[in-house]
Chain A
Amino acid sequence: MSPGSPDPPAAREAPEPPDPNEAAAISRVQAGDAAAFDLIVRRYMRPAYAVAFRVLGHREDAEDVVQEAFLAALANIGSFDITRRFGPWLYRIVLTRGLNFRKSRSRRAAEPLEDAGVASRDAGPAAAAEQAGLRDTVTTALARLPERQRMVVQLFELDGFSGAEIAAMLGVSPGTVRWYLHEARQALRRMLAHLQETAG
């Protein structure tokens, strides 16, 4: 949170009920059905990867953390309450493991921009330079945000997670997440106002 900001307000919401098909699949996994676990993996590996990547900023590390998180979830599946949604529980594991992994990874710098030019290579040099400038400006603005605000705004605006899902990941209330989102948006709009026309 930015200095001088008031404490984020707290709010409580009833958790969304799980999808009945998902609850049935989890029950089968709890009974040892490997095919049901495969279904769960297919359904959740992409959003789980998005969470891991937001924490780590590195593809291979994010893949490793996703693998670890699924296996940890499987190891503890017996204690999972099937009246709750599986996603937020898994994302919380991913986030926690991602943060732990990042602590132990200080030897290797994040390489999120390693292939950053890929998308613009087909464009002309001027367009590529403009794209690179835009990317640098936005990246710098994001880097100025407190980490929780940065994660919340990326997970919400780019990855499509709901406030409640992000709240479950971070272990805070949905109201707090919305407060972080509000603060992050305000700061980004200030910093990126001059790019508004470019963004259309």
Chain B
Amino acid sequence: MNDSSRWSLDQDPPRDDALARLLAAADQPPPGADVDWERLRGAIVRGAAHGRGPAPREWWDVVVQWRRLAAAASIAALLAAAALLWQADASETDLALTDAAPESAALARVVAAYPDDAVLTSMLEQSRTDEFTSWDPR
């Protein structure tokens, strides 16, 4: 690298090529290497023509910008959906195993609380034996 001891207030020093090469190594890719200059120029000129702020990005620019987040969100959504499906399947099995008439169970709990109540007991008996019978108006 160049001699560092000389510098002047009045004029720019010569560029230090060795230092510049080292700095360039930390500058990869160089700024602007991946910029679409025509698109940027078009956006500025369109914005100026419409007398407003920066032109909105095109939809494909937004897609490119958010693609990683979108991919991660899609995977998370798939995992969540799979978990929900698995959980719903398990709940259905539980329901099938314990599927008793809920009103009968509630009535049984009331009768248990009032064991001497004959009316309640008869209601419970009736609910257990209730079935469709043919209606004969005669």
Name A residues whose Cβ lies closer than 8 Å to a Cβ of B.
9, 11, 13, 34, 37-38, 41-42, 45-46, 49-50, 53-54, 59-60, 62-64, 66-68, 70-71, 74, 115-116, 118-120, 131, 134-135, 138-139, 142, 153-154, 156-159, 162-164, 174-175, 178-179, 181-182, 185-186, 188-189, 192, 195-196, 199-200
Q: Does A178 lie within 8 Å of B9, measured CB to CB?
A: yes
Partner of B22, one of A34, A64, A115, A138: A138
- What are 8 A-B interface contacts by the 8 Å CB criterion? A34-B48, A63-B40, A68-B53, A134-B22, A157-B16, A179-B9, A182-B7, A189-B1
Q: Does A45 lie within 8 Å of B37, measured CB to CB?
A: yes
- Given that A135-B25, A139-B26, A185-B19 are contacting pairs, would A162 and B12 also be in contact in the complex, using a CB cutoff of 8 Å? yes
- The verdict on B13 contacting chain A, using a C-beta distance below 8 Å, is yes
Name B residues whose Cβ lies closer than 8 Å to a Cβ of A.
1, 4, 7-10, 12-13, 15-16, 18-32, 34-35, 37, 40-41, 43-45, 47-49, 52-55, 65
The CA-CA distance from A179 to B8 in the complex, in Å, is 8
Q: Does A116 lie within 8 Å of B28, measured CB to CB?
A: yes
Q: For residue B45, which residues in chain A have a CB less than 8 angstroms away from its CB?
A: 34, 37-38, 41
Question: Counting chain A CB atoms within 10 Å of each CB, which of B4, B9, B49 scores highest?
Answer: B9
Q: For residue B9, which residues in chain A have a CB less than 8 angstroms away from its CB?
A: 9, 11, 175, 178-179
Q: Does A199 lie within 8 Å of B34, measured CB to CB?
A: no
The CA-CA distance from A41 to B22 in the complex, in Å, is 31
The residue in chain B whose Cβ has the minimal distance to the Cβ of A49 is B32
Majority secondary structure of chain B interface residues (helix, strand, loop or mixed): loop
Q: Does B40 lie within 8 Å of A67, measured CB to CB?
A: yes
Partner of B29, one of A54, A70, A118: A118
Q: Does B12 lie within 8 Å of A119, measured CB to CB?
A: no
User: What's the nearest-Cβ distance from chain A to residue B126, in Å?
Assistant: 67
The CA-CA distance from A116 to B9 in the complex, in Å, is 36
Q: Does B65 lie within 8 Å of A50, measured CB to CB?
A: no
Q: Does B25 lie within 8 Å of A53, measured CB to CB?
A: no
- Given that A37-B45, A189-B1, A196-B18 are contacting pairs, would A67 and B8 also be in contact in the complex, using a CB cutoff of 8 Å? no
The CA-CA distance from A45 to B43 in the complex, in Å, is 12
Partner of A67, one of B28, B34, B44: B44
The CA-CA distance from A162 to B15 in the complex, in Å, is 10
